[in-house]
Amino acid sequence: MKSLFIIILISTLSFANVIQKDNNKSISDTKIEKEHISIVKKIGFSSKDGIVSIDTNKAKNYFSDLGNNIKNKSKQLSVELKSKTLKITKDIGIELDKGSLSIDLNKTKEFADRVGKNIKIFTNDINDFTKKLKAEINGSI
């Protein structure tokens, strides 16, 4: 039961890590905002005059890439768990080596902060898109 909990925890954290940028560079908030491309645009959503358009090629590519990243991380996680070592989560502060589990709370906190910032950016993107759509609808009526 204890190992099941650890696997679920690690899987959850690994999935959240996939959501982040593929490169694990430590970047300042201002640089993140400058480099940020709206998730709405990445997926291919746009609106004009209250009509929402979806670029299905962008959406398909985005979700395909996301799925491939999750699949690759899951395979790597599975291999590492079978060998009783876990290095995939080292950058988030969790490491398993020959049955010994180490948790660096400072790295885990930094990881949680990065995930929180990414979630905030995502929700702001959705909020901005819906506000724009609402303004377009109200302006066209």
Domain span at 71: 2-140
pLDDT, position 57: 92
Cα 131 to Cα 79: distance, rounded to the nearest angstrom: 45
Q: What is the pLDDT of residues 88-102, one digit of tens each?
A: 777 888 888 877 888
Q: What is the pLDDT of residues 31-88, one digit of tens each?
A: 554 455 677 888 888 888 778 888 999 989 988 998 898 898 888 888 887 887 777 7
Cα 62 to Cα 57: distance, rounded to the nearest angstrom: 8
Q: What is the DSSP letter of 20?
A: S
**Does the pLDDT at position 131 exceed 70?**
yes
| Residue 130 phi, psi dihedral angles, 5° rounding | -70, -35
| Residue 25 phi, psi dihedral angles, 5° rounding | -70, 150
Domain count within the chain: 1
